[in-house]
């Protein structure tokens, strides 16, 4: 799970969902991609919120990984949604019980609520932060394996 990178500030007359990544946010997502490679993960799917900054974050990661994994925009990752909707979506993706690596890009506090739902852990993802969850989607339970912020990612 990845929180989107730094984005344009909120501005009068501009909808929140239209805010774009700034250059710092793109750099943050490149660091995330480097971590994904370092850990040996190969995403089978990349799911993102339909908000522009999340889509751009997912695309930056995908491009850096140089994979042909399509970025999928899903309503379940909108900030005002209930995290159980994402859990139900993930259950549907895991019908065969296969090991699947899914990279999820979204927003706070939504991502923290999802992590609490499946792990019981209380966390906060800073912008550009990463949480690795090993999860059994059918059971709806998982364990938080790794939690990193950009300060740590800069040093990798």
DSSP for 97-130 reads -----EEEEE-TTHHHHHHHHHH-----PPTT-E
- Helical axes 52-65 vs 23-38, angle rounded to 10°: 50
Q: For residue range 106-119, what is the model confidence (pLDDT) as tens digits? A: 999 999 999 999 99
Q: Is residue 155 scored above 80 in pLDDT?
A: yes
* Helix, coil or strand: residue 5: coil
* Tokens representing residue 34 in the block: 């480097």
Q: Is residue 56 scored above 90 in pLDDT?
A: yes
* Tokens representing residue 47 in the block: 């799911």
Which residues, other chains included, contact 79 with Cβ-Cβ below 8 Å and sequence gap of 6+? 49, 51, 106, 107, 110
- The residue assigned the tokens 């065969």 is 96
pLDDT for 44 equals 93
Q: Is residue 96 scored above 70 in pLDDT?
A: no
Write down all domains in the chain, each with its CATH number in brackets. Answer: 2-155 (3.40.50.1240)
pLDDT for 52 equals 98
**Stretch 34-38: mean pLDDT:** 97
State the pairing for strand pair 130-136/102-106. Answer: unpaired
User: pLDDT band at residue 99, thresholds of 50, 70 and 90?
Assistant: confident
Q: Is residue 94 scored above 90 in pLDDT?
A: no
Q: What's the CA gap between 136 and 90, in Å, rounded?
A: 10
pLDDT for 131 equals 98
pLDDT for 66 equals 86
Strand order in the sheet with 45-48: 71-73, 45-48, 102-106, 2-3, 130-136, 141-148
Q: For the whole model, what pTM was predicted? A: 0.95
């Amino acid at each position: 799970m990845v929180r989107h990178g730094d984005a344009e500030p909120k501005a009068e007359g501009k909808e929140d969902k239209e805010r774009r990544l700034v250059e710092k946010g793109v750099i943050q997502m490149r660091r995330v991609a480097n971590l994904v490679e370092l850990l040996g993960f190969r995403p089978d799917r990349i799911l993102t919120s339909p908000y522009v900054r999340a889509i751009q974050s997912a695309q930056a990661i995908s491009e850096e990984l140089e994979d042909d994994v399509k970025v999928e925009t899903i309503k379940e990752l909108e900030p005002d949604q209930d995290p159980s909707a994402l859990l139900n979506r993930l259950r549907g993706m895991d019908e065969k019980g296969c090991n699947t690596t899914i990279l999820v890009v979204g927003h706070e506090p939504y991502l923290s609520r999802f992590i609490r739902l499946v792990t019981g852990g209380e966390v906060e993802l800073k912008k550009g932060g990463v949480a690795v969850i090993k999860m059994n989607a059918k059971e709806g339970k998982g364990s938080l394996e790794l939690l990193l912020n950009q300060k740590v990612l800069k040093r990798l």
